[in-house]
Copies of this chain bind each other. A is one copy, B any other.
């Protein structure tokens, strides 16, 4: 890829070049986790204008020699020391004035991570103080930079929708978990209570029981399960 700039120039010369002034492309990350029985998202406080002091999604510019997925992985690592977690593309935001400085097109991705993993990965830095409940953000209780509140609302909807028909809930748990834990995850994502017996009937084909139990006080211990087939690393 030596002559790339030359090739590009030649290519663009056949167009009205003013029309193809290029926008910047960034990745915005919606890193969701579940803490204290609530859906939380990782935000950073902006230390410069515009929107200085307000909360924003962690983001990175997409490098000219890296794919979108590579940029996402780099962002997850740089902003939250996370590797090997689940993520998926959400939506691409391209309104002209969404960033007052310059034209920025943002590809949003959501990542789901168990709270314990988020804590242990972060190491020194106190990442916990950068977690905010999605509920409070959508209720307008926090000042959000750019169009980030809308992006979070979009991500919240995606999570809720996928909780209806997919195994997305597993992403918030460690490899081994109990069915009451899993049910609670789904209840938080869906925003409603579920019937124990029905939940278990539905989830049964996707879990395999172990011989281990966990005890949480003065009651019957709960059996530990693993996710079936589709192995979680």
Contacts and interface: CB of A to CB of B under 8 A. Distances in A.
Interface of A: 4, 7-8, 11, 15, 19-25, 61-69, 71, 89, 91-96, 101-103, 105, 107
A22 B20 contact: no
A22 B92 contact: no
Given A62-B23, A62-B94, A92-B89, A105 B68 contact: yes
B101 A7 contact: yes
Contacts of A65: 96, 103
Given A64-B103, A65-B96, A68-B94, 20 more contacts: A4-B102, A7-B102, A8-B102, A11-B102, A19-B64, A20-B24, A20-B61, A22-B25, A22-B64, A25-B105, A62-B94, A62-B105, A67-B94, A67-B95, A68-B92, A69-B94, A89-B91, A92-B107, A94-B107, A105-B105
A96 B66 contact: yes
A64 B24 CA distance: 10
Contacts of A19: 61, 63-64
A170 to B, nearest CB: 21
A11 B92 CA distance: 23
A21 B8 CA distance: 13
A168 to B, nearest CB: 16
30 contacts: A7-B101, A7-B102, A8-B101, A11-B101, A11-B102, A19-B63, A19-B64, A20-B63, A20-B64, A21-B64, A22-B23, A22-B24, A22-B25, A22-B64, A23-B25, A23-B62, A25-B25, A62-B94, A62-B105, A64-B103, A65-B103, A66-B96, A67-B95, A68-B95, A69-B94, A89-B92, A92-B107, A94-B107, A105-B105, A105-B107
